Structure 1
Amino acid sequence: MRKKLIALAIVIVSLFTYTKLMARIGSGSPPPDAPLAQQADSIRVYKSERRMVLLKGDVPISTYRISLGKAADAGPKQREGDEKTPEGHYEIDWRNPKSMAHLSLHISYPSPDDQRNAAAGSFPPGGNIMIHGLPNGWGLFRQAHRLWDWTDGCIAVTNAEMRDIWARVPDHTPIDIMP
């Protein structure tokens, strides 16, 4: 039994070290912007369906299956650490090409309403909610990551999908996240 526990501890430490090392290495170079005609002008996320849609006007131009926060089905994000994905109207306000996950687009959570609601409950609202690929070094899992919700409140896609999204979603693109 002791040998099994030691082996398990070694595996866990190795995985943790690998993840930290890959996070420092980064995602590599981001893709170039897609032609304007192929860029989205809004995003809709349907949490209950685990689906994200890029739109040009009212026309869907791309759809992705997604993973969400571990507690995504428990309603909208309310506070730091609740592992829920927010619900509401936001925008993509900045991007991180050197993210710990394969590229990331920041969602403007918390909104002023989110901040007021959190303050009324005397707790911090949290932040750093992103659309991102898989953690660096874990891209081999591809679609398998969709078998469960595993983020801390973010929206996760495969690395190939994240490259497509990065190229097609400019800063200040509105995003509506619905239950």
Structure 2
Amino acid sequence: MRLRHIAYALLMATALAGCNDTIDGAIDVSKVKNKVEQPLPGRIVAEMQKKNMPRNSPIMIRVFKEEGKMEIWKAKADNRFDKIADYDICAWSGKLGPKVKEGDRQAPEGFYNLTPAHLNPNSKYYLAINTGFPNRYDAVNGRSGSNLMIHGACSSSGCYSMTDAQILEIYAFARDAFRGGQSSVQLQAFPFRMTAENMARHRNSENFEFWKMLKAGYDNFEVTKRPPEVNVCEKKYVFNQQAQGSGQFSAAAACPPMSTPPALTAALASYEKEYQVAYAKAMDKLDGKLWYEPTEAERKAIVAEKRKGRDLAYAPTGTSLAAGKLVEPEEFEKLMAARLAKQTAKPGQILTASTQASAAKQGRVVLPGTAPGNRSTMSVQTAMAAPAPGAAAPTASQTARPQPDMAQATTTGSVPVPAPNPLAYAAVQQPTETEGKKPFWKFW
């Protein structure tokens, strides 16, 4: 009996040594000798084999702020992408909405291209991957910020911060994909999953029009299960479009004549039809209620227990879903008034209507009935009850849905570009159209 126990213990030790996993499935970082070359855990490699994913096939990263999730999607042998791993984001700062300027503590939202040059093996936060902010969309819209990363250490001031064990795996996914020939990994950073229910729930946000634009790219991926081709023109994102004739995409210039492949057009139309039905149901379900989005402090309060007994640098921030709530308009007004009073009032100061309106703008919310020019609760609900983004006949209050596009979004112009990295393979750069490059839908 004793020999059987010893044999079993040796077998378990061999298995753990082979995949570098701890018993609970997470890598024991303290035992990692070379973090840059650390292989993916055996459990992930086995799942890749099960899903018919070549070890060095391309990957894509998706982020959903609200629920605090980061997903890794990987190409299967048929060139469709499937989710291979997901992680709870340990810390992200600010609130839902894009990064606008240096120091606003916002984590980026949008579509970013990560190259081998964006990998930082020497980060003081264990390992890091630069998000590529600002991209062409950010730059042409005057948005600023630097050193916005996906990194370890669980502490964020505008970054997506993971635990060291998590970033070790994420870094390995990117490293292997680059070594397999992928020249650019797409990072899709969203405020939330762009479902009909979530869009309806956030219909009163001042970021709603920006999010509708991101939704076009989200929809393209949901339909094709391939990262969309991204470009920028007229200071907006466009997805999976082919420029006609000699037209070219320029971030600040008018969009050139563009076309969408018929098969993709039909698929998106079917997806949109289902979305419209779901959006109408979501509006009925909400019944006039408003979503109270929590502050970062309110999110942190939810996970205060996680910080006990840890280093001060370890600062998980929790999820908006856990700390936020749906409320009646009257309660929403009270909650926002209390927040604004706390954020803006100085000793002895009385908040006037204009002060409240200004603070509401800074707080990125539309306060019901705050000041002339601001939409009331009723007007917000009425405007957003119209057909959702992409409808055949949008109302005057809706901006036209951006036309989809085709070129990779890269950092250009005066925005600094990372220095070349030895992992960048010149031999695998994408060929030009004249060299015989086929649009992705030829394979789709």
Q: TM-score range by the shorter chain?
A: 0.5 to 0.7
Rounded to whole Å, the distance in 2 between the matches of 1:38 and 1:156 is 25
Residues 90 and 161 of structure 2 are in contact (CA less than 8 Å); yes or no, is this contact kept in structure 1? yes
Q: CA deviation at 1:100?
A: 1.4
Alignment of 1:7-46 (within 5 A): 29-32=35-38, 34=40, 37-38=54-55, 41-46=59-64
Rounded to whole Å, the distance in 2 between the matches of 1:29 and 1:90 is 25
Q: CA deviation at 1:91?
A: 1.9
1:52 to 50, 70, 77: 70
Cα RMSD of the aligned pairs, angstroms, is 2.3
Q: CA deviation at 1:31?
A: 2.7
Alignment of 1:55-134 (within 5 A): 55-57=73-75, 58-73=81-96, 75-93=97-115, 94-118=118-142, 125-134=144-153
Q: CA deviation at 1:69?
A: 3.6
DSSP-derived class of the 2:141 partner = helix
Give 2:274's aligned residue: none
Q: 1:28 to 1:80 in 2, by over 3 A?
A: farther
Residues 106 and 157 of structure 2 are in contact (CA less than 8 Å); yes or no, is this contact kept in structure 1? yes
Q: CA deviation at 1:68?
A: 4.3
Bigger RCO (CA 8 Å, 6+ sep): 1
Q: CA deviation at 1:32?
A: 4.1
Output one character per residue of 1:24-65: Cα deviation in whole Å (capped at 9) or x when no partner: xxx964234658824551111011110000001431100000
Alignment of 1:151-162 (within 5 A): 151-162=156-167
Residues 31 and 163 of structure 1 are in contact (CA less than 8 Å); yes or no, is this contact kept in structure 2? no
Q: What letter is aligned with 2:186?
A: P
Give 2:185's aligned residue: 173
* Aligned-residue identity in percent: 30
Residues 35 and 168 of structure 2 are in contact (CA less than 8 Å); yes or no, is this contact kept in structure 1? no
Greater percentage in strand = 1
Q: What letter is aligned with 1:178?
A: F
Rounded to whole Å, the distance in 2 between the matches of 1:117 and 1:69 is 23
Q: 1:110 to 1:33 in 2, by over 3 A?
A: farther
Structure 2 gap ranges (5+): 1-32, 46-52, 76-80, 179-183, 192-444
DSSP-derived class of the 2:62 partner = strand
Q: Which has the larger radius of gyration?
A: 2
Residues 93 and 159 of structure 2 are in contact (CA less than 8 Å); yes or no, is this contact kept in structure 1? no
Q: What letter is aligned with 1:54?
A: I
Rounded to whole Å, the distance in 2 between the matches of 1:154 and 1:65 is 14
Q: Compute the TM-score of the two structures, normalised by the length of structure 1.
A: 0.66
Q: What letter is aligned with 2:93?
A: K
Q: 1:68 to 1:84 in 2, by over 3 A?
A: farther
Q: What letter is aligned with 2:61?
A: I
Residues 38 and 168 of structure 1 are in contact (CA less than 8 Å); yes or no, is this contact kept in structure 2? no
Residues 92 and 107 of structure 1 are in contact (CA less than 8 Å); yes or no, is this contact kept in structure 2? yes
Aligned positions, number? 133
Residues 90 and 163 of structure 2 are in contact (CA less than 8 Å); yes or no, is this contact kept in structure 1? no
Q: CA deviation at 1:169?
A: 1.3
Q: 1:112 to 1:46 in 2, by over 3 A?
A: same
Q: CA deviation at 1:72?
A: 3.0
Q: CA deviation at 1:112?
A: 1.4
Q: 1:72 to 1:37 in 2, by over 3 A?
A: farther
Structure 1 gap ranges (5+): 1-26, 119-123, 135-144
Q: Compute the TM-score of the two structures, normalised by the length of structure 2.
A: 0.28
